[in-house]
Structure 1
Amino acid sequence: MISVLILVLALTLIAIGMPVAFAIGIAGTSYFLLPSTFLPDSTAVQRIVAVSQSFPLLAVPLFILLGNLMNGSGITERLLRLASTLAGWMRGGLAQSSILLSALMGGVSGSAVADAAMQARVLGVPMVKRGYSPGFAGALLAIGGIITATIPPSLGLILYGYLGEVSIGRLFIAGIVPGALLTVALMATTAVVARRRGYVPEKERPPTLAEVWHDFVQGFWAVLFPVWLLVGIRFGLFTPSEAGAFAILYALIVGMFIYRELTPRRVLDAFLQTLNDIGMIMLIILFSGTFGYVITFERVPQDIAAFALTALTDPTVLLFVVCGFLLVLGMLIEATVLVMLLTPILVPVITAAGIDPVHFGLVMMTLVTFGGMTPPVGVSMFTVCGILRCSYRDYTIEALPFIGAVLGTVVIMILFPQIVLFLPNWLM
Structure 2
Amino acid sequence: MLLVVVAFAILLALGMPVAFAIAISGALFFLQHPELPFTIPVQVTVSQTQNFALLAVPLFIIAGNIMNRSGITGRLLDLASVLTGRLKGGLAQVSLALSALMGGVSGSAIADAAMQARMLGRPMVERGFTPGFAAGALAYGAVLTPIIPPGIGMILYGTIGQVSIGRLFAAGFVPALLLWAGLSFAVWLTARRRGYLPERDRRPTLKEGALALRGGIWALLFPVFLLFGLRMGVFTPSEIGAFAVFYGAVIGVFVYRELKTKGALEALEASLTDVGSVMFLIALSAIFSYGIVLERVPETVSGWILGVTENLAGVMVLVATFVLVVGFFVDATVLIIMLTPIFLPLVRQLGGDPVHFGIVFIVAATIGNFTPPVGAAMYAVCSILKVPVGEYTRESAPLLLAVTVVTLMLIFIPQAVLFVPNLIFNR
Would you say same fold, with TM above 0.5?
A: yes
- Could you say which residue in structure 1 is the equivalent of 2:365? 371
Residues 233 and 288 of structure 1, relative CA distance in 2, 3 Å threshold: same
User: 1:27 aligned to 20, 25, 30, which one?
Assistant: 25
Shift of 1:303: 1.0
Q: Structure 2: which 5+ runs fail to align?
A: 126-130
Match for residue 262 of structure 1? 259
Contact 1:372 1:381 in 2 (8 A): no
Displacement, 1:142? Answer: 4.3
Letter in 1 for 2:30: F
- Number of residue equivalences: 407
SS in 2 for 1:304: helix
Q: Structure 2 counterpart of 1:335, which letter?
A: I
Provide the alpha-carbon RMSD of the alignment.
4.6
1:405 matches 2:405: no
Q: Which residue is 1:227 aligned to?
A: 224
Q: TM-score, normalised by structure 2?
A: 0.73
2:9 maps to 8
CA contact (8 A) 2:141 2:183 kept: no
Counterparts of 1:70 and 1:424 in 2: how far apart (Å)? 26
Aligned AA (1:290): I
Q: Within 1, Cα distance between the matches of 2:289 and 2:326?
A: 10
Change (3 A) 1:234 1:191: farther
Counterpart secondary structure, 1:238: coil
| Cα pair distance change 1:96/1:283, threshold 3 Å | farther
Give the distance between the partners of 1:76 and 1:241, measured in 2 at CA. Answer: 25
**Aligned twin of 1:247:** 244
Question: Matched residues in 2 for 1:418 and 1:223: separation?
Answer: 24
Q: Cα gap change, 1:221/1:125 in structure 2, threshold over 3 Å: closer, same or farther?
A: same
Q: Report the CA distance between 1:394 and its aligned residue.
A: 4.2
What code does the residue aligned with 1:278 have?
A: V
TM-score, structure 1 as length reference: 0.73
Distance 1:45 1:191, change over 3 A: farther
> Mapping of 1:340-359 within 5 angstroms?
340-348=341-349, 350-351=350-351, 357-358=352-353
Pairs within 5 Å for 1:25-424: 25-33=23-31, 35=32, 38-104=35-101, 106=103, 108=104, 114-116=107-109, 119=112, 123=116, 125-128=118-121, 130=123, 136=136, 139-140=139-140, 142-148=142-148, 155=155, 177-191=174-188, 201-312=198-309, 317-325=314-322, 327=324, 334-335=335-336, 338-348=339-349, 350-351=350-351, 357-358=352-353, 361-374=355-368, 382=376, 394=389, 397=393, 401-415=398-412
Secondary structure of 1:374's counterpart equals helix
Q: Which position in structure 2 is the counterpart of 1:354? A: none
Q: How far apart, CA to CA, are the structure 1 residues paired with 2:383 and 2:43?
A: 31
Q: Is the 8 A contact 2:148 2:172 kept in 1?
A: no
For the residue of structure 1 that corresponds to 2:368, the secondary structure is coil
Compared CA separation, residues 63 and 202, structure 1 to 2 (3 A): farther
Q: Would you say the 8 A contact 2:70–2:256 is kept in 1?
A: yes
Tell me the CA shift for residue 280 of structure 1.
4.0
Cα deviation, 1:219-244, whole Å, max 9, x if unaligned, reads 44444444333432343322343333
Structure 1 residues 140-149 or 113-122, which shifts more?
A: 113-122
Would the aligned equivalents of 1:233 and 1:240 in 2 still touch at CA under 8 Å? yes
The amino acid of 1:181's aligned partner reads L
